Structure 1
Amino acid sequence: MKKTKLGTTRIDVSAICLGTMTFGQQNTEAEGHAQLDRALAAGINFIDTAEMYPAPPSAETYTRTEQIVGTWLKKQPRDRVVLASKVAGPSRGRDWIRGGRYDADCIRAAIEGSLRRLQTDYLDLYQIHWPARNVPVFGQTRFDPAQEREAFGIEEQLRVFDDLIRAGKIRHLGVSNESAYGVMEFLRVAEKAGLPRIATIQNACSLLNRSFEQALDEVCFRTGVGLLAYGALAAGQLSGKYARDAGAPGRLTLFPQWSPRYMRGSVLEAARRYEEIARSRGLDPAQMALAWCYSRWYVNSTIIGATSLQQLEAAIGALDIRLDDETLARIDAVHAEIPNPAQ
């Protein structure tokens, strides 16, 4: 499988990263291990998880995913796997994660918990799951100054991560669900204070959400920060299954309140049009959506999620699909008419 450098680091990662947020809720431990085994056999060396997973998160399931990954990882040669996890940011209605706080003590407690559950001494990449400051994320599209609040500062965060890197607990740092301002500020503060530089940003990127192209693409191009793209199938909307059957089994029917941005009318219409393009070109809709994401010049690695080995095989197979100019032009035409409905 094609590999690339993780941001500006010396770490080689596969073009596909296996996401694990279904492990412990939609997938059993055995099913999770089977996915991990298949991914590794296919040349995927990059695994992404988070202390908050599985998702949607709850007090009852919190940390299960890392535990499942950990019981698999302990049986693998550690240097064959590039492992990423995330520390939960300040409360977004999740006070059961350290009382909803996010500060130096929380970060230190989080990394120790993740290392223990993952049964490893270090993480290759440790990511801030969402910003501490006021910023529109998870379907919010506008910055609201009225929501300003005190937040754990960027320099203070970087000093904690610097300690963790020096202690050998993490190798590199990343952000997630960040803005162009956030990436630039993390880089500016790091350079000014001589602190660790972020290597990656993990943000949504799909046919239904190309907002990365509105500023972050240039930022990452000029700074070398790598995009780890998630949500390439927009919670399954781009597979076409919900267009055929609104009650089809999947995340949007199992957890209807989890991510309402994927249920907007404009999302349904755009997804229907993308499916039409795929069918007319003799392509599976999910594989077309993945092939589009895999081919973006600004994507460092695409995080895929599956609930079955069949879905995983299809996602891996999409890496060999090359979309022709006509298909790409038709995709761009839909995007021009219905831009970023799932942003």
Structure 2
Amino acid sequence: MEIRPLGRSGLTTTHFCLGTMTFGSNTDEADAFRQLDMAVDAGITLLDAAEMYPVNPVLKETIGDTEAIIGRWRAARGAKANQLQIATKCSGRGSMVRDGATVTPATMRAALEASLKRLQAETVDLYQLHWPSRGTYHFRQYWGYAPEKQDTAQARDELAALVGCVTDLVAEGKIRAFGQSNETAWGLTTWQAMAKATGSTPIATVQNEYNLLCRLYDTDCAEACHHEGIGLLAFSPLAAGILTGKYSGNAIPTPSRRVNQPELGGRATPSALDAADAYVALAQKHGLDPVHMALAFCTSRPTMATAIIGATTSAQLERILKGADLRLGADLLAEIELLYRKFPRPM
């Protein structure tokens, strides 16, 4: 595994990170333990979770179950568990967690304490805000995204309060670095400016969706991250499985994520399925597994810290790991760019 910096935090990660969002729902505890063991054995150094997990679907009664499974794995594995750094997240406004309350220093601190208890850990290596309280265009919300409705003073005050809270949590040793998720260029640069002005904790990473079908990051956040020293944690690098080719022809195989989420959170559009077929055909033309090509593309991108690989089953994770060392040549990358021009925003 290639070792990369987590922004300017001083921490590092491997170019693959283990995603855990299905642990406790579509992935039972025994298989979750297998996946965590496989990640360590493969040399992966970071796992990513969230207080609201598991998902697909999100249920109020299962909130926190993923972190609890990770905590039990940590207790069972002892020293081996310490080879995996922990990233987790505090839910934003509107989630089922805390009945949709806006994130404040008090709710963030309470959320972290609850996560630490479930994880059976004293410190979270990377703590993240799942999405900003002022709203986001991610999760296919860009059709109705209206930043002009935001109150600028309120948005800045909310960020400033969290900058101070995060800095306190770092000083107390409860978190080592902080990241945002589903964030915009304005949110990233505003936080960094506040942190610099007050000597507070800057953003080390941003976790946004990034894959061959979803490259919104390239048009704004990439510039902010380049100049501000922020590393990207790419979630859904396989576009929720669309880039594997298993949904070609609008298929809904059983089992698959589309059984519970037929539209895959708005991803499974006709244009996205057509684009995915083109990328799958390109991989096959070069004798590559489309899964491996899609992941290698992600890890080749500028400012990329790590691609979050999530698998419902350990068999899927095994397939993913077989391509961990793949690097794409210039000719193939050029062909990918031609397809990108043909399918610039298919979902």
The normalised TM-score by structure 1 is: 0.94
Distance in 2, matches of 1:257 and 1:330, equals: 28
Once the two structures are superposed, the pairs formed by residues 201-216 of structure 1 within 5 Å of their partners are: 201-216=206-221
* Equivalent residues of 2:263, 2:269 under 8 A apart: no
CA RMSD of aligned residues (A): 1.7
* Equivalent residues of 2:298, 2:304 under 8 A apart: yes
Residue 187 (structure 2) pairs with residue 182 (structure 1): yes
Cα distance change on mapping 1:269 and 1:258 into 2, 3 Å: closer
Residue 279 (structure 2) pairs with residue 274 (structure 1): yes
Q: Which moved more, 1:28-37 or 1:134-143?
A: 134-143
Residue of 78, 85, 89 corresponding to 1:86: 89
Distance in 1, matches of 2:197 and 2:328, equals: 43
Distance in 2, matches of 1:257 and 1:98, equals: 27
1:105 alignment partner in structure 2: 106
Residue of 222, 225, 242 corresponding to 1:220: 225
CA shift, 1:241, in A, is: 0.5
Once the two structures are superposed, the pairs formed by residues 280-295 of structure 1 within 5 Å of their partners are: 280-295=285-300
Distance in 1, matches of 2:237 and 2:243, equals: 8
1:55 alignment partner in structure 2: 55
* Equivalent residues of 1:134, 1:147 under 8 A apart: no
Q: Which amino acid aligns with 2:12?
A: D
CA shift, 1:193, in A, is: 2.1
Q: Which moved more, 1:208-217 or 1:111-120?
A: 208-217
1:337 alignment partner in structure 2: 342
Residue 124 (structure 2) pairs with residue 123 (structure 1): yes
* Equivalent residues of 1:235, 1:252 under 8 A apart: no
Distance in 2, matches of 1:210 and 1:173, equals: 23
Deviation by residue 1:273-329 (Cα, 9 ceiling, x = unmatched): 111111211111111111111222321111100122221122222222232333222
Residue 253 (structure 2) pairs with residue 251 (structure 1): no
Residue of 152, 158, 172 corresponding to 1:153: 158
Q: Which moved more, 1:112-121 or 1:188-197?
A: 188-197
1:238 alignment partner in structure 2: 243
Q: Which moved more, 1:113-122 or 1:57-66?
A: 57-66
Gap regions ≥5 residues in structure 2: none
Cα distance change on mapping 1:146 and 1:218 into 2, 3 Å: closer
Distance in 1, matches of 2:329 and 2:5, equals: 27
2:37 alignment partner in structure 1: 37
Deviation by residue 1:120-148 (Cα, 9 ceiling, x = unmatched): 11100100000111332211225414643
Could you list the structure 1 runs, at least 4 aligned residues long, displaced by more than 4 angstroms after superposition: 149-152
Distance in 1, matches of 2:250 and 2:141, equals: 27
* Equivalent residues of 1:162, 1:195 under 8 A apart: yes
Distance in 1, matches of 2:10 and 2:199, equals: 20
1:144 alignment partner in structure 2: 146
Q: Which moved more, 1:81-90 or 1:1-10?
A: 1-10
* Equivalent residues of 1:86, 1:126 under 8 A apart: yes
Residue 78 (structure 2) pairs with residue 76 (structure 1): yes
Deviation by residue 1:169-193 (Cα, 9 ceiling, x = unmatched): 1111100011111110110111112
* Equivalent residues of 2:104, 2:158 under 8 A apart: no
Q: Which moved more, 1:23-32 or 1:72-81?
A: 72-81
* Equivalent residues of 2:250, 2:273 under 8 A apart: no
Distance in 1, matches of 2:163 and 2:214, equals: 29
CA shift, 1:253, in A, is: 2.5
Q: Which amino acid aligns with 1:254?
A: N
1:164 alignment partner in structure 2: 169
Distance in 1, matches of 2:225 and 2:8, equals: 11
Distance in 2, matches of 1:329 and 1:76, equals: 46
Q: Which amino acid aligns with 1:139?
A: R
The count of corresponding residues between Structure 1 and Structure 2 is 338
Distance in 2, matches of 1:39 and 1:2, equals: 14
CA shift, 1:12, in A, is: 2.3
1:27 alignment partner in structure 2: 27
Q: Which amino acid aligns with 1:179?
A: T
Cα distance change on mapping 1:283 and 1:41 into 2, 3 Å: same
Cα distance change on mapping 1:141 and 1:82 into 2, 3 Å: same
